[in-house]
Chains A and B, each alone.
Chain A
């Protein structure tokens, strides 16, 4: 089977582009959580994620450079100083089965695909896979694949506290609860978006991150909550996630929050439970299987 059937194009940046350009991409709502970094020859040089940018904004990355140049100076530095080496690079001639197995085995959200000359061809990520699994019933309940307990935060907490919690816990989102009732979701993308918007409003030359991070979580969180019941089929979760272009769903039982189901939970869970051949069949790509 040709892997290219699920390879999708995603935003890319150049190795010598400024870090600021990544903030401008990842702070836009509806964009992926990470971008691939390419050299001038279009070969893959690495990956940079929203978390890395948030860490820089919080002063938890680029410490020495920040001391010398200030945050603005750090954001003017090339991406090459901050990227993560790409370690999930596959040639375009591997099969979809292989990639699905690898992503599920290692709980990876994406792999990068290159041609025989190591030139970038695209990305296979959870969204691309789930997008091929719409309107299906799997016979697997949400509770069988969800993550729990979900990390929560109070709406009155500061954005600084929430951001540090996400960085320390290595998560991309927090569920916002008041008296155990879910009132919103805060993602790293929401935080980066807030930084961008506030900077534009203030027309500030220097990034006044401290002021920006004083905002309360409920000023930034997304209150349009789309959740799912834990006894529901994972097919419904996929339809909701892809249909609304969101990365996760809070999972509830009798009105109480019991966990969260994310895109990678769905891909890993379905592959592990149904097996790769069955998932490929459900994706409607088995006819071309070699």
Chain B
């Protein structure tokens, strides 16, 4: 089991109120002691690990026997699952060879022998561990799909779908992501959320933020724009650099910070990191940082708090939770209209939604030059996240799902 820090539900009372905590405790009573096993493919990096790091200790603190299992796989396996991931998000150029299918199934078969899958509820996250359903012994099995599967590559979906159909329930991040040929299975729509007390989002003193910036030679007295996302074509790091070039023409002192992490289930990460570094080669004041440079959760937190404007210029998104992370820190976000981003970025209220690099640059310049506007949008962002996207809502959703399946 992966290590998780210990937070209690009562720690959240100052943020969400006593009433909310009472509701959670009362829902949890219905499934007290239930063994809930979450399975995903990485303990670090990406939104799913982020969510589980918060959810598991919270679920345990209200009396569930929640556990987190991480799938182990080879390079070939993760290359295959990344291809499946990209195909399900709509890349129609991908074809799965029989070798790829074999490695996908074989790794899951091997993991089924070592993982503890004997839960009252087994929650399988994303496509990597999906075939584990074939080794189910007992309990209710749920597939939690965090990606946009609204227009999947038909061939790959045809291979994946028979596994999906064996589950007792499916959970998607948006109604629009539900493939239109799913029939007869319970389907839930559940927005992901952020944990305001995690290392990535907890309050930091200004001095801590300054120390973090100093460590990486980023000037705290000059405007900083940045994106926190994996190095991945869907996250569009090159588009972020193009935007920065245009902003730099208008505001010479601006700095760009790009932060990503190398998750072990993402073999494309290193390649795209290199591509991004090369693309920014001749540019000044660009900082491209990863977990390999020592940028972990607290550092990401510090950088996000130091951003004048956060960017999220993704081409495709599951939900885009880093947007809420930035908003929670009072930073306005300039972002594309994809995935769950328009639910988080209210155009002109918590940030700006854009369609092109030119528009992105224009809005960034506007916000950098007009600090009062950035502050107002930032304040609105904090309130929007507080009303709609905090982990306590997610926990209630999970508890209701468990009650549906195994509740008393």
- Chain A residues in contact with chain B, CB under 8 A? 15, 39, 41, 43, 45, 55, 60-65, 68, 80-91, 94, 98, 101-102, 105-107, 114, 118, 164, 168-170
Asked if A88 and B403 make an inter-chain contact with CB atoms under 8 angstroms apart, the answer reads no
Closest to A116 in B: B383
Asked if A105 and B175 make an inter-chain contact with CB atoms under 8 angstroms apart, the answer reads no
Asked if A101 and B184 make an inter-chain contact with CB atoms under 8 angstroms apart, the answer reads no
Q: Is B110 in the interface zone, CB < 8 Å from A?
A: no
A102 to B351, CA, bound (A): 12
How many residue pairs between the two chains, A and B, have CB atoms under 8 Å in the bound complex? 81
Asked if B23 and A80 make an inter-chain contact with CB atoms under 8 angstroms apart, the answer reads yes
Closest to B348 in A: A98
Q: Is B242 in the interface zone, CB < 8 Å from A?
A: no
A192 to B349, CA, bound (A): 39
A105 to B27, CA, bound (A): 33
Contacts of A102 in B (CB 8 A): 342, 346-347
Min distance, Cβ A137 to any Cβ of chain B, angstroms: 28
A83 to B190, CA, bound (A): 12
Contacts of A91 in B (CB 8 A): 383, 387
Question: Knowing A81-B30, A168-B183, A168-B184 touch, does A88 contact B388 (C-beta < 8 A)?
Answer: yes
A172 to B183, CA, bound (A): 16
Please give me the 8 A-B residue pairs with the lowest Cβ-Cβ distance, nearest first.
Answer: A105-B342, A89-B387, A85-B393, A168-B183, A87-B388, A64-B407, A64-B406, A98-B349
Question: Knowing A64-B404, A64-B406 touch, does A87 contact B191 (C-beta < 8 A)?
Answer: yes
Q: Is B353 in the interface zone, CB < 8 Å from A?
A: yes
Contacts of B23 in A (CB 8 A): 15, 39, 45, 80
A17 to B189, CA, bound (A): 23
Q: Is B222 in the interface zone, CB < 8 Å from A?
A: no
Contacts of B19 in A (CB 8 A): 39, 41, 43
- Chain B residues in contact with chain A, CB under 8 A? 19, 23, 26-27, 30, 175-176, 178, 180, 182-184, 186-187, 189, 191, 337, 342-343, 346-349, 353, 383, 387-389, 393, 396-397, 400, 403-408
Closest to B407 in A: A64
Min distance, Cβ A47 to any Cβ of chain B, angstroms: 12
A170 to B172, CA, bound (A): 13
Asked if B346 and A98 make an inter-chain contact with CB atoms under 8 angstroms apart, the answer reads yes
Contacts of A114 in B (CB 8 A): 387
Question: Knowing A39-B19, A61-B404, A85-B396 touch, does A170 contact B347 (C-beta < 8 A)?
Answer: no
Closest to A40 in B: B19
New A-B contacts (8) at CB < 8 Å, excluding given A62-B404, A81-B27: A61-B404, A64-B408, A87-B191, A89-B388, A91-B383, A101-B346, A106-B343, A168-B183
